[in-house]
Structure 1
Amino acid sequence: MVGAVSQAPVPASRRALLGAVLMFGILRATEGRKLKFVNLVYRHGDRSPISRYPTDPHMEKDWPQGFGQLTQVGMQQHYELGQYLQRRYKDFLNISYVRQEIYVRSTDIDRTLMSAESDLAGLYPPHGQQIFHPDLKWQPIPVHTVPVRDEKLLLYPLKNCPRYAELMVETENCSEYKEVQQANQDFLKRLSANTGIPYKNMLLRNVWSIYDTLYCEQVHNFTLPLWVTPAKMEHMRQLKEFVIKSDYGLYKPKEKSRLQGGVLLKQILQNIAQVVNGTNSTHKLIMYSAHDTTIIALQMALDIYRLAPNYAACHIFELYQEENGSFTVTMYYKNGSSSETHLLTLPSCTESCPLEKFILLTADVIPENWHEECQAHRSSIQIELILGLTSGSCFLLMLIILCVKLQCRNMYQSLGYQKLASQNEPDEEDHETRDNLKPKGSRGCLL
């Protein structure tokens, strides 16, 4: 949940941005409300499945370009989204492509790169001198990217974050997660038998990939196995939504957001800050071509997530300068190229949220130093390890003492001696042994 304005901590970087907002908002008063900047994040278009399950009758060769690739349906979806953006911003962007106005970044994955290119084809059809071939209504526009191994902004969940890995282990040990896992054991067993995935490997998160494969096949009119019923598909979809919730929320959601979606939100706020303070006076539109998990992580950080995004879903941030010179942020969401666009409201704010308030409300999910915050909490792990080793050592020492006693007793008896002991001694020894052999209680999960 996003905290109240008075409770949210304001790090140094946020204070600097707030100062810029207030200063430039006063100095740059304008006549009427004006759109100053747009930052949007969209999911790639329709694609083939990422993989197949063992008993899947359909092979990778059955898809024109193989697994995980943008289909022609996906290309059309993003072309239509580009046309929509052209109509929406016809009075804001130049009708022709101007390189200073727009910056596009994509993950280094075929389907997102191709989605960005399809989107730009719809947004900027060539005009006049931009037409380099009379029969081709298209022009090349740069799409920037970085190698997947170096991606620290758009591919979620972000990798190489030990603390996030710890949080996921803790999440899966929480009562709510265990209850869902236990309640679905029979369903998972049947799913294991139907898909050929060994039951020992059939975890809740496996359901997401199975559902995705079947969904892609269903959309493209592949014949599905008889066991795939509408009820089973809906059951898998609901489990997918639960896994999404557990990945980015459910347990310590703010800390998860600082390590995940808050990273992208921080960059978007920095992009806005550059417009506000005048260091970016040319870019009117920044586009990020990414994935469903990108939008999920971002919306979880904003505490506005509802359902998994459709293909070509688009989350829009618009920065306005009001008549009095102040700045506001308005968010819109279009859940697919054929869906209506609707307003999104940050909790505890208005639809046109004052920028300084937007910054304050999101301050607790913005990381100050991601690398430092990603460090594992080794102290707690070491304490548990020490306690475990100490308990084990004590138990082992007790067994050794018991064995020595028994050996000595046998030796005394063989020499003709009889050990004299108090009447209660054997009972006390047996009681202590039983206590040490009792199973230790599982550690609870505090939300």
Structure 2
Amino acid sequence: MAGKSGAGSFSPLWTVVLLLGQILAAVQLAQARQLRLVTVVYRHGDRSPVRAYPKDVHQESAWPQGFGQLTQVGMRQHWDLGQALRARYKGFLNESYDRHEIYVRSTDVDRTLMSAEANLAGLYPPEGSQVFNPNISWQPIPVHTVPDSEERLLKFPILPCPKYLKLQEETRKSPEYVNKTTDNMNFIQMVANETGLSDCSLESVWSISDILFCESKHNLSLPSWATPDVLARLSNLKDFSFRFLFGIIEQKQKARLQGGVLVAQILKNITAAAHNTSSGLKLIAYSAHDTTLGALQMALDVYNGKQAPYAACHIFELYEESPGNFTVEMYFRNESAQPPFSLTVPGCVHSCPLEKFQSLLQLVVAEDWEKECQLSSPSRDTEVIIGLVVCGCILFLLVVLLLIVLFRQKSQPIGYQHVSDVGEEQS
């Protein structure tokens, strides 16, 4: 009895200890870092070439859906990416599709729209009440877009932009560009002769690399001149063309006119999530192109110099480390067999404080894109100069006239006055 009574006397104490432990665990859980928003920018999947060269034996009829279309290989690549995102964000995203937590936007191009749809099929296979047909493991999910002529977020380079075109003219005069042209002049001429292209240049030869790459991936025969060495050299020139578009010289200035536009939107989305004004969004996905990823990564200064492969995916993750304390992490998935690897904005750490992340990227964000894109018109400058000269001449004449008047006034005899003689005659 004594032992039983003694044990009973300790039960209230243990209850208090357990209660305190639960409260402490709850507080720690509430203060643990939490994922708040994910933004992904991905390239479309495997596609057919966007064109053929004149002497190519494989013209558009060689491709089931024609030029520039997503292939079944590309569909599987994006279904796999959707599955990978589903696994990575298990517990963060709902198991089933919830329209309040995801927003998807694509360029208005068949292959990017279809890639987004294939990706969503892997990310949100229907379950329970969302199964509308037991024979179809798929459900429709909205993919937003704008007409190609209005696209100013995901398709690069963004044109028209006179300032950017001026920067490209300056890039063509840079030592690196001039040397690259000189070193490859004979090679480019050979490619032009073999393909039948009349406008083959350092900037357009990438398309030959793309065509041959697509054909080799789909087991179509290559011409005899397309040796491994030639293909490697073409691939190198293709990578150079991406650097030409967004770098080589004035990279940050180019970024303000190109990739910085997308950076600005991503920062806006992240800031809204941090301030709880994002309407509950957890995932924002952009389905786009290799040039999109190139422009974005050049603006972020994390570009590795290589064209992004099919279904490559750049990831931004916003974390709340503690109440009101946020960090941003970036990852890049460029191989389906490997997990994404981390990227870091120069000047920060991988888990970059949100304020520092924003501050570092303000250099590539244009306050007024339309204004920064403009160049002063030579004719307008001439008109201004002529106007200033005319105004100057008029002002000079007015000064001269004023001086003449003053000089004449001073030249009259001092004390001279006309005095009326009427009074003298009367006297």
TM-score by length of 2: 0.81
Helix, strand or coil for the counterpart of 1:250? coil
CA–CA distance in 1 between the matches of 2:246 and 2:219? 32
Residue in 2 aligned with 1:197?
A: 197
Once the two structures are TM-superposed, the CA of residue 30 in structure 1 deviates from its matched residue by: 4.9
Contact 1:30–1:322 (CA under 8 A) maintained in structure 2: no
Q: In the alignment, which residue of structure 2 is the partner of 1:278?
A: 276
Range that drifts further, 166-175 or 140-149: 166-175
How much does 1:380 deviate?
A: 11
RMSD: 1.6
* One-letter amino acid of the counterpart of residue 290, structure 1: A
Deviation at 1:377?
A: 4.0
Give the match for residue 7 of structure 1: none
Query: Structure 1 residues 248-257 or 321-330, which shifts more?
Result: 321-330
1:265-304 to structure 2, matched below 5 A, reads 265-304=263-302
Aligned letter for 1:354? P
- Higher gyration radius (CA): 2
**Distance in 2 of aligned mates of 1:189 and 1:382:** 41
Matched, 1:122 2:112: no
Distance 1:288 1:348 in 2: 26
User: Identity percentage over the alignment?
Assistant: 54
CA shift, 1:173, in A, is: 1.7
Higher relative contact order (CA 8 A, sep 6+): 1
Q: Please show how residues 259-270 of structure 1 align to structure 2 within 5 Å.
A: 259-270=257-268
Hey, what does 2:170 align to over in structure 1? 170
Residue identity opposite 1:71 in structure 2:
T
Aligned residue identity for 1:369:
D
CA distance in structure 1 between the aligned counterparts of 2:212 and 2:203, rounded to whole angstroms: 15
* Cα shift readout 1:184-205 (whole Å, capped 9, x = no counterpart): 111011111111112xx22101
Partner of 1:80: 80
Counterpart position of 1:312: 311
Distance between the aligned counterparts of 1:37 and 1:341, measured in 2? 17
Q: Find the aligned partners of 1:35 and 1:313 in 2 and give their Cα distance.
A: 22
Count of residues paired in the alignment: 354
1:242-300, Cα deviation, whole Å (9 max, x unpaired)? 11111101111111000000000000000011111121131000000000000000000
Counterpart amino acid of residue 37 in structure 1: L
Deviations 1:121-155 (A, max 9, x none): 00000010100001111000000000000000000
Instruction: Determine if contact 2:100/2:279 at 8 Å carries over to the other structure.
Output: no
- The answer for the alignment partner of 2:411 in structure 1 is none
The structure 2 residue matched to 1:220, chosen from 211, 218, 230, is 218
1:133 alignment counterpart: 133
Structure 1 stretch 169-178 or stretch 143-152: which is displaced more? Answer: 169-178
Task: Show structure 2 runs of 5+ residues with no match.
Answer: 1-28, 386-427
1:58 matched to 2:58? The reply is yes
Structure 1 position 382, deviation (Å): 6.1
Q: Secondary structure at the match of 1:359?
A: helix
> Counterpart of 1:357?
356
What is the match of residue 256 of structure 1? 254
Cα 1:203/1:276, change in 2 over 3 Å:
same
- The residue type equivalent to 2:251 in the other structure is P
Alignment of 1:338-377 (within 5 A): 338-377=337-376
Q: 1:171 to 1:122 in 2, by over 3 A?
A: same
The aligned residue for residue 237 of structure 1 is 235
Counterpart Cα distance in 2 of 1:293 and 1:31:
40
- Structure 1 runs (4+) greater than 4 angstroms displaced: 379-383
- Indicate how the Cα distance of structure 1 residues 354 and 379 shifts in structure 2: closer, same or farther if over 3 A, else same: farther
Query: How far off its partner does 1:322 sit?
Result: 0.4
Aligned to 2:49, what secondary structure does the other structure show?
Answer: coil
The equivalent of 1:407 in structure 2 is: none
Task: Read off the aligned partner of 1:259 and give its amino acid letter.
Answer: L
Query: Offset at 1:44?
Result: 0.1
Q: Counterpart of 2:284 in 1: which secondary structure?
A: strand
Rate the CA distance shift 1:305–1:314 in 2: closer, same or farther, 3 A.
same
1:16-55 per-position Cα deviation (integer Å, ceiling 9, x unaligned): xxxxxxxxxxxxx951110000011000000000000111
Per the normalisation by structure 1, the TM-score is 0.77
Partners of 1:114 and 1:224 in 2: CA distance: 28
Cα offset for 1:308?
1.1
CA contact (8 A) 1:314 1:336 kept: no
Matches within 5 A, 1:15-34: 30-34=30-34
Name the structure 1 match of 2:421. none
Using the alignment, how far apart are the partners of 2:299 and 2:197 within structure 1?
34
* Cα pair 1:70 1:111 within 8 Å, conserved: yes
Which segment drifts farther, 237-246 or 312-321?
Answer: 237-246
Partner residue in 2 for 1:431: none
Q: Does 1:108 align with 2:126?
A: no
Tell me how far apart the structure 2 counterparts of residues 103 and 222 of structure 1 sit (CA, whole Å): 38
Q: Secondary structure at the match of 2:329?
A: strand
Contact 1:30/1:325 (CA < 8 Å) preserved in 2? Answer: no
What's the offset of the Cα at 1:76?
0.2
SS at 1:332's partner residue? Answer: strand
Please state whether the residue corresponding to 1:224 is helix, strand or coil. coil
Q: Residue 107 of structure 2 contacts residue 154 of structure 2 at CA under 8 Å; is this kept in 1?
A: yes
Q: Aligned equivalents of 1:304 and 1:30: distance in 2?
A: 34
Aligned to 2:205, what secondary structure does the other structure show? helix
